[in-house]
Amino acid sequence: MYGRTLEDQVLEFGHEGVLYRNSFMMYDKQTESLWLHVTGEALKGKLKGKQLEFLPSEVTTWQAWRQKHPETKVLLGRKARGPMGTFGLKQQSRHFGLSLGQGRDVRLYQYALLAKVPVFNHHYQGKAVVLVYHQESSQSVAYAAEAEGQPLSFHAVQGSEGELLMLDGQTRSLWDGLQGICLAGPMKGQRLNRLPATPWLTMRWRNFFPEGEVIGLPKEEEPAPKAKSEGTASGN
Amino acid sequence: MLLTMGNLRLNFLGAGLLLPTLALPAFAQDIFSEADYERNARQVIARDGFPVLNFPEMRDAAKADRELREDEPVIGVFLGNEAKAYPISVMGSHELANDLCGKIPIAVSW
C-alpha cells in the first residue's frame, strides 16, 4: 500500500503490461515513469530512483477486519480464477511471511516461525524490532522495540478474549500486540512505532528477492512440501 | 499444493497466457537496476491491457458478508478515519487500484 503523492504531485498508476522478475510494472500517467509495485521504487523515466511512501495496511481475514472496523467500505466484484479466488488465509498461512522493510532492503519472517513465537524480538538494520503475529486473525505487524527512548523486549500474554497482549521485560507494562498501544503499567498510553512490513506469499517473495534473507524454522521443522518447491531460487 | 500455488501468476493475469518464470540468478549489485530491467523485462500484454481499478465503488459490510467468507483475506487500510477493505480474491483480477482513503491518495497493489 503506497501513497500516490510524491513531492506535492499526485500520481495515478496504470498497468504497463510488462512482467519483470515475476512482478508486474506500473507506470504513472503524469510522467510515464516505470515503477516496481513490490518495492514502490521507480526504475526508469523522469522519476527514476524515487520511492513511494509506504502506508500502513493489514492483510487479515474479512471477519477480523469487520470486527475492528464495522463501518468499513468493501471492494466487491469479480473474483480471480484459481487459488487466489478461493483460498483461506488461515489454511494457507504456512505459505506466507511478513516482509519487513521498504524498497529492496527487506527481510522475510515466515508465518510458520511466527506461529510458534507470536511475539518475536529481533534486530533489523541495527535496531531492535518486535514482530507480532496473531494466528486467530492471521494478522502480523512489526514495531520498533522502544518507547520513550528506552529499548524494550516483549513476550506474549494470552488475553481473556483471545487477543494478543504483550508484557515488556524492562518496565513490566502491558501492551496490545496488534495496536501497539500500552494498556497498563509505567508506559501506559505510549504507542510503539509501526515499521513498514507487508505480508507476502513466501514463494513470490523468494522469486522477487532471490538474495533476500528469510527468517524461518529450521528445515526439519518446516511443513513438508508435497511437490517440487520454489526453493532452488531462494539463494539462501 | 505448491505446484498449484506456482500457477498464481497465470491466474492473476487471467488471460491464460503461458508466462516464463523469470527467477534467473541475479548479480546482487545489479538487481532492480534499469540495466537489469532492460535485460529481463518482458512485455506480456499491451499497456493498460490489464483492468486496473480507478476509484472503485465500494459496498458496506452487510453486503460484503453475503459475498465473502469469514476467513477470506482482505487488504485493510484505515486512514483519515475511513476504513476500506480490498479482498485479495477481487484484487487478484485487477492487481492495482488507484483510490482515496480518508481523502489520502493511495495505490493498492497485490
- Closest partner residue to B77 among A57, A104, A225, by Cβ? A57
Taking alpha carbons only, the member of A220, A202, A221 closest to residue A212 is A202
| Mutation target among A33, A57, A63, A74 for the B interface, most CBs of B within 10 A | A74
Q: Which residues of A touch B9 (CB under 8 A)?
A: 19, 22
Residue-wise pLDDT for A120-171, tens only, equals: 999 999 999 999 999 888 889 999 999 999 999 999 998 888 789 999 999 9
- Closest partner residue to B12 among A5, A13, A84, by Cβ? A84
Confidence (pLDDT) at A224: 54
Taking alpha carbons only, the member of A22, A58, A45 closest to residue A207 is A22
Take residue A64 and report the three cell numbers written for it.
477480523
Q: Which residues of A touch B11 (CB under 8 A)?
A: 80-85
What does residue A94 show for φ and ψ, rounded to 5 degrees? -65, -15
- Closest partner residue to A22 among B9, B93, B105, by Cβ? B9
- Closest residue of chain B to A27, computed from CA coordinates: B47
Say if the Cβ atoms of B23 and A210 lie within 8 Å: yes
Q: Which residues of B touch A20 (CB under 8 A)?
A: 22, 37, 40-42
Mean pLDDT of chain A: 87
Most confident of A44-53, B2-11, B15-24: A44-53
Distance from CA of residue B72 to its chain's centroid?
Answer: 16
Q: Which residues of B touch A39 (CB under 8 A)?
A: 32
CA of A210, closest CA in chain B: separation in Å?
Answer: 7
Residue-wise pLDDT for A185-199, tens only, equals: 999 999 999 998 888
Q: Which residues of A touch B90 (CB under 8 A)?
A: 75-80
Residue-wise pLDDT for A100-114, tens only, equals: 987 778 899 999 999
Q: Which residues of B touch A17 (CB under 8 A)?
A: 43-50
Q: Which residues of A touch B76 (CB under 8 A)?
A: 57-60, 65, 68-69, 72
Percent of chain B exceeding pLDDT 90 equals 45
Confidence (pLDDT) at B30: 65
3-state secondary structure at position B89: helix
- Cα B50 from Cα A13, distance rounded (Å): 12
- Closest partner residue to A10 among B19, B87, B105, by Cβ? B105
- Closest partner residue to A18 among B42, B65, B68, by Cβ? B42
Strands B104-109 and B96-101: antiparallel
Say if the Cβ atoms of B71 and A25 lie within 8 Å: no
Q: Is the dihedral of CA B72, A17, A51, B7 positive or negative?
A: positive
The domains found in chain A, sorted by start residue, are 5-44 (no CATH), 90-184 (2.102.10)
Q: How confident is the model at residue B19 (pLDDT cuts 50, 70, 90)?
A: very low
ipTM of the complex: 0.74
Confidence (pLDDT) at A83: 57
- Closest partner residue to B47 among A16, A63, A74, by Cβ? A16
Say if the Cβ atoms of B71 and A62 lie within 8 Å: yes
Q: Is the dihedral of CA A134, A139, A143, A146 positive or negative?
A: negative
* DSSP code for B54: E
Confidence (pLDDT) at A232: 37
Take residue A77 and report the three cell numbers written for it.
466484484
